[in-house]
Chain A
Amino acid sequence: MKRTTIIILACMLTTMAAMAQTGLNINRLFDGRYKKAADATEIIVTGSQAHEIGLTIYHSISVTEKAQAEIIENLVVKDGAKAIDKEVEYRNGQLYYGFYTLPKYKRSNRYIFFLNQNLARKSPKNVVTLIYMEGDASAEKIKKLIRK
């Protein structure tokens, strides 16, 4: 009986571990809440399309509702605290730009980009963008990617 229970639990945990992403705080934002929102854009790319840019997962959210900016920023900052490398810029006490390299997860590199364009000096826009990337790509490659 015990052995059977252990086997079932092991199978369930393996499946759950495979399905769960990474235990990041920002995962809460990727629960589908923005898919039907009138003031948001959510992009999900995995598989061959993501592979073309050296990634296994590309997941982003752009939101124009100001109230969401603080929520997203707080979660990003929490995850950013665990980053092994980061480039951040604060403006008026708020996070304007952040590029975080997170510890690897199952041999995959993980990155978070954050940008609050409300704080841009030149032509500010009411848009907050969060990007989560996962894959083989190095931080340098990711930076090159955004400079394409």
Chain B
Amino acid sequence: MNKNHHITTQAELEELIERYFDGDTSVLEEQMLRETLADCPWSSEVIDEARFTMGYFAAHSHEGQRVARKNNRNKFIGIAASIAIVLAAGGYALWHQQQSAGVCIAYVNGQIVQDDDKVMALIVNDLSMMDNAADAMTDQLSSLGAALELDNE
């Protein structure tokens, strides 16, 4: 077969396969055989065996290869999605665990305080200041009320 020859019949293909297994094919003919096996719709015991031997069993056509590529891509996306879901779930679980376990920490003038009692004492101090301010407001309201009462007497 010359360089530009194409296999047009099943018989031609089977003949080429036989020559291939006899070791009588050129490099170009082997290449043509591989391409034909990948593309053609023909099927017979000889052709299927050749496909199997030459690695075209699963993907014996462009359509097959396309489907295989699509399946691979979907598999990859599935794996990526699974990893993303696992990471998201893991992140959430870690965050939730930290929230449940709790944090009790203070930073005072750039120094870290991790002693629970000391941190709670700081909170008491914060709240005490708020209490004083709230008291001042209540006192002010009481004074206003008293002044209004005096004014109305």
Q: Which residues of B contact A120 (CB under 8 A)?
A: 133, 136
Judge if B54 is at the interface, Cβ distance under 8 Å. Answer: no
CB distance from A66 to the nearest CB of B (A): 16
Q: How far is the CA of A8 from the CA of B86 in the complex (A)?
A: 10
Q: Which residues of B contact A7 (CB under 8 A)?
A: 81, 85
Residues of B within 8 A of A (CB): 77-78, 81, 84-85, 88-89, 91-92, 95-96, 99-110, 112, 116, 119-120, 122-124, 126-131, 133-134, 136-137, 140
Interface pair A46/B88, CB less than 8 Å apart:
no
Q: Which 8 A-B pairs have the closest CB atoms?
A: A47-B102, A11-B88, A35-B107, A97-B133, A146-B127, A49-B104, A43-B106, A146-B131
Q: Number of contacting residues on A, CB 8 A? A: 52
Which of A12-20, A70-78, A102-110 makes up part of the contact surface? A12-20
Q: Which residues of B contact A43 (CB under 8 A)?
A: 105-107, 119, 122-123, 126
Q: Which residues of A contact B110 (CB under 8 A)?
A: 35-38
Interface pair A146/B130, CB less than 8 Å apart:
yes
Judge if A117 is at the interface, Cβ distance under 8 Å. Answer: yes
Judge if A39 is at the interface, Cβ distance under 8 Å. Answer: yes
Q: List 5 A-B contacts (CB under 8 A).
A: A15-B91, A15-B95, A35-B107, A45-B123, A97-B133
Closest A residue to B138 by beta carbon equals: A87
Q: Which residues of A contact B119 (CB under 8 A)?
A: 43, 45, 49
Judge if A145 is at the interface, Cβ distance under 8 Å. Answer: yes
Q: How far is the CA of A87 from the CA of B136 in the complex (A)?
A: 12
Q: Which residues of A contact B105 (CB under 8 A)?
A: 43-45
Closest A residue to B131 by beta carbon equals: A146
Interface pair A97/B137, CB less than 8 Å apart:
yes
Judge if A83 is at the interface, Cβ distance under 8 Å. Answer: no
Interface pair A60/B78, CB less than 8 Å apart:
no
Judge if A69 is at the interface, Cβ distance under 8 Å. Answer: no
Q: How far is the CA of A36 from the CA of B108 in the complex (A)?
A: 8
Judge if A131 is at the interface, Cβ distance under 8 Å. Answer: yes
Q: How far is the CA of A105 from the CA of B89 in the complex (A)?
A: 22
Judge if A136 is at the interface, Cβ distance under 8 Å. Answer: no
Closest B residue to A34 by beta carbon equals: B107
Interface pair B92/A18, CB less than 8 Å apart:
yes
Q: Which residues of B contact A60 (CB under 8 A)?
A: 123, 126
Partner of B127, one of A8, A40, A50, A148: A148
Q: Which residues of A contact B133 (CB under 8 A)?
A: 89, 96-97, 115, 117, 120
- B99, B120, B126, B134: which has the most chain A beta carbons within 10 Å? B126
